Structure 1
Amino acid sequence: MSAMTGSETAAGDDRAAWRPDGPVDESATARASVDPNGIVTGWSEGARRLLGYRAAEVVGRPAARLLAGKPPAETLRSLRTLPRWNGAATLLHRDGHRLAVNLLAHRREPDREEGNGDGEWLLVSPLVRPSAPLQDDALVMWAFTQSPSTTALYDAGLRLRRANADMERAIGLPEEAMQGLRVSEIVVHPEGDRTEQCMRRALETGEEQQLQQILHLAGHERESVWATSLTPVLDAEGTVRGVLLSAHDTTEEHLARRRLALLNDASIRIGSTLDLARTAQELADVAIPRLADFVTVDLLPAIEGGDDPRAGSPPSPVMLRRVAFQSVLEGSPEAVVERGTVAAYPDESTAARCLTSGRPLIENVTASAIRKVASQTPDRAERMRRYGFHSVLAVPMRARGITLGVATFSRHRSPEPFAQDDLLLGQEITARAAVCIDNARRYTRERRTSLTLQSSLLPHRLPPQAAVDVASRYLPASTRAGVGGDWFDVIPLSGARVALVVGDVVGHGIQASATMGRLRTAVRTLADVDLPPDELLTHLDDMVIRLSAEADSTADTTADIGATCLYAVYDPVSRRCTLARAGHPVPALAPPDGAVEFLDIPAGPPLGLGGLPFEAAEIELPEGSLLALYTDGLVEARGRDIDEGLDALREALSRSAPSLESTCDTVLQTLLPDHPADDVALLIARTRALDAAHVATWDVAPEPAAVAETRKNACRQLAAWGLDEAAFVTELVVSELVTNAIRYGGAPIQLRLIRDRNLICEVSDASNTTPHLRRARTFDEGGRGLLLVAQLTQGWGTRQTHTGKTIWAEQALAITT
């Protein structure tokens, strides 16, 4: 669209109506606007004064009727291609005479919100030019002597009187084309209006005004940043006679600060987690819109699994997985490849050449380049045309000598192509992201190894036993925290008893998983010798101390070993449970007909401190009681007090549930609605009781004659239980164990038979002497009894008691009850 203005040749009294030093006079400039079809759409009072036409006579009619002759072809070409034009023109007055004027024409961009088509041209020209030279030579001297930079002098009417060479260069117009015009007429931009407002304030207050401005001036390839000072110019009497505009081009400083701000932002935002995809997305997010309009991050497929890519250049065609993208446009419509999709990139593609060369590259997107892309990947070419891609920067992602993938930055809204400074900036933020992604890759590999190790060490199937019904859950920590060393176990013990264990190793990763495995093995070994809970924790504490000493001797600064543990032994015959804990959370008990409570068990120090005793507590549990053992990750969470966690656990356990599995799910859903920040182990047991129908006990006189009577009692009990097929072996076992107790032990002696999943025979006496298997020689009269017991039964052993010892032997039953 074009616009036209009047000149100093306007005649009549109108000229005298405007004074150069008077207030701002809108009619002192002729303004007209013309749409792309050459139709006049706007007409000012100044235009009427210049050419004599009223607005109603001109608006809506061709602007060509106002010209005295056809414009030169060069002028027409300029109007079609340039954002601004200035030059001489000859116009026709309403009365028919010709006017030679200087015109300044601005192309105004269309208003997209108002649907303003292709925009229009605005043309301006002052009706009166100040006389030259200036009357006040002292004012000129003061203004330009005091000007350190790009400078222009405006009079009290806010119209330009003088402009130095730097101002002509910055604006791209000679002084003659700007004289008599206001800032808002020279620079048709919101910043021009803002500058004019500040100039008025300087005139009114007599105080200097400061502005920071970002402008895209005609004739300049990109936006520039200016620090502008508006200084009132005073005469000898102190009267404000004009305004001196001084501007400093601070574009380079602004760009440097913006690059530093982006780098600082990248250092904060990129790598906030050890999640590979999220880290890639953080790179894409931080680059929009300050570096690019569209960003993609593509990784070699092996990376996401934590593996190392193969050495050398990737095979052709390059296969990359799209991990992240971001755009200045909502929804990223430029994306062709969806997240998580593996796509092929031809050898001539930007990404492939960047990875093959191992160096970043900048490419301008030309029509021929798009045609080449279209021959290989038509969908990508179509998006490039549709959104106007014009410049692409590709940076290989490398860390610790390994190529991980490529980050591609594209511009289609920002008019400036990528430059060398952009390449350096892209390298900086991509290098940071690459290190973080490699950390995430390595962590993924370690986490997978830790999970595999931990899974192999935890029980996959809880062993069958008659003492309790059990259900369990194990949840590894989120990716950020890493796999820890929580564990649980259910260990069958002699006499139908069972040990319940829950422990937590300090730290995360492979070291914690390996330590957990060693402690779990140690607990099982110590449980096999039937140590009481407090003694077992004492031995376990010694072991952790030794492990810490070994770690110190290898200078392994990451192997800070410590653990907590809760060990409980439940006897279904006596219904008594003995518990001891080493720095571990207290267990919860839900009786069948009572409120949930947390057991008062002496705390004990965490394992690895040494020198402090552990204490056990013994309680009687009604049949059907619910016992919940857990690690601290269940009840402790960020932003939640531990008492709140315990209350939530109490409430979850108090709900009725159809099964123990359902109870476990309820507990986890109540306390851990999201993925846990720490490992969680949960073991829930419902107690059973073996009544008189399953247990038979006899006191045995300490004399050899009592052996026969004891055998008869055992056989009668087996017959009552319907276990006649076990009578022969049981007679031999009872005879051998009772005989040894009478011969080598001490009174009182007791025989007990327990029928649960197996048939258990126990003989207790007052001696602490433990029998041992031995191989009898040919002529020995004894020594074959225990060997015979070991061969005829499923297992046998000895456990110490408060009053002596108990020797036991188990037989497998063909029919379980």
Structure 2
Amino acid sequence: MLGTDAPGGLLDVLGVAAVVLDAEGRIVLWSPQAEELFGYTAQEALGRFAGRIMVGEEHLQLALDLFERVMGGGSGSWAGVFPIRHKDGSTRFAEFRNMRLEDAGGRRYALGLAAAEATVRQVETDLALSVRLVSQSPIGLAVLDTDLRYVTVNPALERINGKPAEAHVGRHVREVLSGLDVDSVEAAMRHVLATGTPLLDQYAVGRMDPDSAGGDRAWSVSYYRLEDSAGRVLGIATSVIDVSERHRAATEAAQARQRLALIADASKRVGTTLDLDRTAHELADLCVPALADVAAVDVLDTVLGGQRTFAVNATEEGEATVFRALAVAAAHPTLAVRAADPPGEVAKYGPDRLVTRCAKTGRPVLVPQVTDEDLRRIARDGDAVALLEQAGVHSYLAVPLIARGEVLGALDLKRARNPLPFTSDDVALACELAARAAVCIDNARWYQSQRQAALTLQRHLLPHQPPDRPGLEIAYRYEPAQGPSQVGGDWFDVISLSGNRTALVVGDVMGSGIGAAATMGQVRTATRTLAELDLEPAAVLTHLDRITDGLERPIATCVYAVYDPETMCCHIANAGHLPPVLARPGRPPELLELPTGAPLGVGGVPFESVELRLAPGDQLVLYTDGLVETRDQPLDDRLAELLRLLDQPRRPLQDTCDVLLHSLRHAADPDDVALLVSRMERLPQE
């Protein structure tokens, strides 16, 4: 460095001594290094003949000949190893560089530069070893100055960077490593220059040339600050090891772990309910962004029971296939979502479409690099093609949804922001996810079909329009289960009896599904038949108990009431059912204290009728347990809430039904509800 007198250079390492002799061979200049090499101080050496103190007697003549050679004609120089004598009398060998000097007056002098031979050989050996190690090392090595410009690089680094030494030397690190995260590289180098603390095994991933083909490479890079023996900072040394294979193996292992985690996650996240649409959305959400940027789930319309617009035999060659979109999910906002079929809509795809081929063959369709022609075979129309182009969709994968040997539809995957194309590993993963989800979709499909059948049967068995009865205003509701459970066996009925009397019935067959609905229909029919006999409520329940005992599902609960508007008297009997509510104007609603009785089908338990005197305006509320029973609240609290809701000013009975269902029912209640509300009125004079 300019302007510094601190030692530490190569000359200081060699300890080069400088001695100047005049024409007669007397010493006229003597450096401090000469004192160290020969043992004489300047005061002891100056003015003396060099031959007397610098060489032994046996080498004196040779020294004089060399002196004449330097001072005489010719090149005026000599170099070589010469034995010297130390002040302590020992003989040593020194490496000499001798040359002739002339001053302005033409006087000649001899300059001798000398260093201990052992020191010179050690430096030469170290230098040769260093050069050989650097040049033959398989590790890329470079030296940069304090401005982070390359000073030297070894052949290994030339190969790693794909550039010759001429493309490195004199150039800034930003110019050479433009394809990497140069900001991070430069920050690391400056940190090492400032602190002197090495940074070891720093990971760098990228491409030296951004436009080069092939994937990213990986390097392990270390940085060291270079200092001379005096501590002056010379620059920075860096070592580079290509670890691309190790990086690739680690990446593949991480991807394998990610795939296994995704498959395990599918078991928890897909099929949480028996709702078909929700199951499809769970599958689509699972696939983004772990597998694709956009995922769509479509099922064959025929799979849904042939209840949709088209009925297409998709297995016949040359025919179109009708799909119903169930779900679309995206990892980020993208125009590709607008190109997908909106959930709930039906789309008819020709035999040339990739999704049709996937569904017909039951095999995956992989397009690693999407072309313009491929987009036309993916999108539903020209507008969708344009949207996919703008979104940058570059890779496509469709896998069939197969359950129990039947193709249900397809899982449609696209990549746009993710730069990697779909691979065979992605196909295997998508097929595994689709296979697991297809079973859940199939279960949901069959459940919905069975539920719809049970619900249709139950609605068919329930009264469509209860008759208008003298002295009674009637409102009713039936709501199926809202959660994943199937349709239950709840029912209500309003039966016309002789003498303007009316039978009011609410019951609940235990169990769910078509079986419970069918049993409910049998019990309801038997109830109507017994009602025609004008039996007391207790007698009706006794006969129903015997009848129910012979049915497939023998257990049921029931409240049976007969109201006579002429006497304003009501007789009620209970078979293991929740108590009705009586709401009188001006008085708090109350649960009727009735003999509970045993459920129908238990057998051998007597039933008892209770007479109840009513007045105009009184309301009788019959309901099934699905209105008030929950898993997380005590029944007494729920019944108290029912009474509170009924303790309101007079309102239409239809509104009363709506308030009770809205306030007491939840979105996922697992039981159905039958509700029958009646208000007593005076009979007309006629």
SS of aligned partner of 2:530: helix
Which residue of the partner structure matches residue 520 of structure 2? 516
1:578 aligns with 2:581: no
CA distance in 2 between counterparts of 1:678 and 1:413 reads 46
Which residue of the partner structure matches residue 317 of structure 1? 320
1:413 aligns with 2:406: no
1:566 aligns with 2:559: yes
1:442 aligns with 2:446: yes
Which residue of the partner structure matches residue 704 of structure 1? none
Unaligned runs of at least 5 residues, structure 1? 1-10, 20-129, 145-149, 233-240, 549-559, 694-816
Which residue of the partner structure matches residue 18 of structure 2? none
1:340 to 333, 340, 344: 344
Deviations 1:238-293 (A, max 9, x none): xxx99998964311110101111111222222222222222222222111111111
CA contact (8 A) 1:309 1:402 kept: no
CA distance in 2 between counterparts of 1:196 and 1:645 reads 68
**Pairs within 5 Å for 1:730-769:** none
CA distance in 1 between counterparts of 2:306 and 2:7 reads 82
CA distance in 2 between counterparts of 1:375 and 1:441 reads 27
Which residue of the partner structure matches residue 472 of structure 1? 476
Which residue of the partner structure matches residue 270 of structure 2? 270
SS of aligned partner of 1:381: helix
2:333 to 322, 330, 333: 330
CA distance in 2 between counterparts of 1:377 and 1:547 reads 57
Which residue of the partner structure matches residue 629 of structure 2? 636
Which residue of the partner structure matches residue 385 of structure 1? 389
SS of aligned partner of 2:482: coil
CA distance in 1 between counterparts of 2:201 and 2:649 reads 73
Q: How far did residue 487 of structure 1 move?
A: 0.3
CA contact (8 A) 2:366 2:398 kept: yes
Query: Could you say if the C-alpha distance between residues 12 and 512 of structure 1 is closer, same or farther in structure 2, counting changes exceeding 3 Å?
Result: farther
The code of the aligned residue for 2:545 comes to D
The code of the aligned residue for 1:282 comes to E
CA distance in 2 between counterparts of 1:419 and 1:671 reads 52
CA distance in 1 between counterparts of 2:597 and 2:334 reads 57
Query: Which is further off, 584-593 or 242-251?
Result: 242-251
CA contact (8 A) 1:346 1:376 kept: no
Q: Which has the larger radius of gyration?
A: 2
CA distance in 1 between counterparts of 2:334 and 2:187 reads 37
The code of the aligned residue for 2:463 comes to P
TM-score of the two chains, using structure 1 as the length reference: 0.56
Query: Could you say if the C-alpha distance between residues 173 and 683 of structure 1 is closer, same or farther in structure 2, counting changes exceeding 3 Å?
Result: farther
CA distance in 2 between counterparts of 1:583 and 1:474 reads 20
Which residue of the partner structure matches residue 285 of structure 1? 285
CA distance in 2 between counterparts of 1:169 and 1:579 reads 98
Which residue of the partner structure matches residue 299 of structure 2? 299
CA contact (8 A) 1:458 1:489 kept: yes
1:661 to 654, 660, 675: 654
Which residue of the partner structure matches residue 406 of structure 2? 402
Which residue of the partner structure matches residue 502 of structure 1? 506
Which residue of the partner structure matches residue 618 of structure 2? 625
**Pairs within 5 Å for 1:360-379:** 360-369=364-373, 377-379=381-383
CA contact (8 A) 2:509 2:555 kept: yes
2:585 to 578, 585, 592: 592
Q: How far did residue 526 of structure 1 move?
A: 2.8
Query: Could you say if the C-alpha distance between residues 183 and 274 of structure 1 is closer, same or farther in structure 2, counting changes exceeding 3 Å?
Result: farther
CA distance in 2 between counterparts of 1:205 and 1:618 reads 98
Query: Could you say if the C-alpha distance between residues 170 and 686 of structure 1 is closer, same or farther in structure 2, counting changes exceeding 3 Å?
Result: farther
Deviations 1:403-445 (A, max 9, x none): 2222211111111111111011111111222222222222222
Alpha-carbon RMSD across the aligned residues, in angstroms, is: 4.8
The code of the aligned residue for 1:605 comes to A
Q: How far did residue 533 of structure 1 move?
A: 3.1
1:357 to 354, 357, 361: 361
Query: Could you say if the C-alpha distance between residues 477 and 178 of structure 1 is closer, same or farther in structure 2, counting changes exceeding 3 Å?
Result: farther
The code of the aligned residue for 2:298 comes to D
TM-score of the two chains, using structure 2 as the length reference: 0.66
CA contact (8 A) 1:184 1:192 kept: no
The code of the aligned residue for 1:287 comes to C
Q: How far did residue 224 of structure 1 move?
A: 7.7
Query: Could you say if the C-alpha distance between residues 274 and 171 of structure 1 is closer, same or farther in structure 2, counting changes exceeding 3 Å?
Result: farther
CA distance in 2 between counterparts of 1:258 and 1:12 reads 58
CA contact (8 A) 2:180 2:206 kept: no
The code of the aligned residue for 1:623 comes to P
Query: Could you say if the C-alpha distance between residues 561 and 163 of structure 1 is closer, same or farther in structure 2, counting changes exceeding 3 Å?
Result: farther
1:687 aligns with 2:672: no
Q: How far did residue 381 of structure 1 move?
A: 2.2
Query: Could you say if the C-alpha distance between residues 272 and 374 of structure 1 is closer, same or farther in structure 2, counting changes exceeding 3 Å?
Result: closer
SS of aligned partner of 2:338: coil
Which residue of the partner structure matches residue 49 of structure 1? none
The code of the aligned residue for 1:369 comes to E
2:491 to 463, 467, 487: 487
Which residue of the partner structure matches residue 422 of structure 1? 426
Which residue of the partner structure matches residue 100 of structure 2? none
Query: Could you say if the C-alpha distance between residues 614 and 224 of structure 1 is closer, same or farther in structure 2, counting changes exceeding 3 Å?
Result: farther
CA distance in 2 between counterparts of 1:423 and 1:18 reads 64
Q: How far did residue 13 of structure 1 move?
A: 8.3
Query: Could you say if the C-alpha distance between residues 404 and 136 of structure 1 is closer, same or farther in structure 2, counting changes exceeding 3 Å?
Result: same
Which residue of the partner structure matches residue 99 of structure 2? none
Deviations 1:595-625 (A, max 9, x none): 1111122333333444544444333223331
The code of the aligned residue for 2:610 comes to A
Q: How far did residue 473 of structure 1 move?
A: 0.7
SS of aligned partner of 2:290: coil
The code of the aligned residue for 1:292 comes to A
Deviations 1:353-375 (A, max 9, x none): 22233211111445452585599
CA distance in 1 between counterparts of 2:468 and 2:8 reads 107
Query: Could you say if the C-alpha distance between residues 254 and 216 of structure 1 is closer, same or farther in structure 2, counting changes exceeding 3 Å?
Result: farther
CA distance in 1 between counterparts of 2:332 and 2:8 reads 50
The code of the aligned residue for 1:625 comes to D
The code of the aligned residue for 1:487 comes to W
Identical counterparts, % of pairs: 39
CA contact (8 A) 1:225 1:254 kept: no
CA distance in 2 between counterparts of 1:163 and 1:614 reads 104
CA distance in 2 between counterparts of 1:492 and 1:439 reads 43
Q: How far did residue 333 of structure 1 move?
A: 4.6
Q: How far did residue 448 of structure 1 move?
A: 2.0
CA distance in 2 between counterparts of 1:536 and 1:574 reads 21
CA distance in 2 between counterparts of 1:642 and 1:220 reads 71
1:189 to 171, 181, 185: 181
Deviations 1:493-549 (A, max 9, x none): 34443221111122322112111111111222333334433343344334443324x
CA distance in 1 between counterparts of 2:486 and 2:182 reads 54
**Pairs within 5 Å for 1:161-172:** none
Query: Could you say if the C-alpha distance between residues 196 and 392 of structure 1 is closer, same or farther in structure 2, counting changes exceeding 3 Å?
Result: same
Which residue of the partner structure matches residue 452 of structure 1? 456
The code of the aligned residue for 1:537 comes to L
Query: Could you say if the C-alpha distance between residues 587 and 255 of structure 1 is closer, same or farther in structure 2, counting changes exceeding 3 Å?
Result: same
The code of the aligned residue for 2:514 comes to I
CA distance in 1 between counterparts of 2:456 and 2:484 reads 18
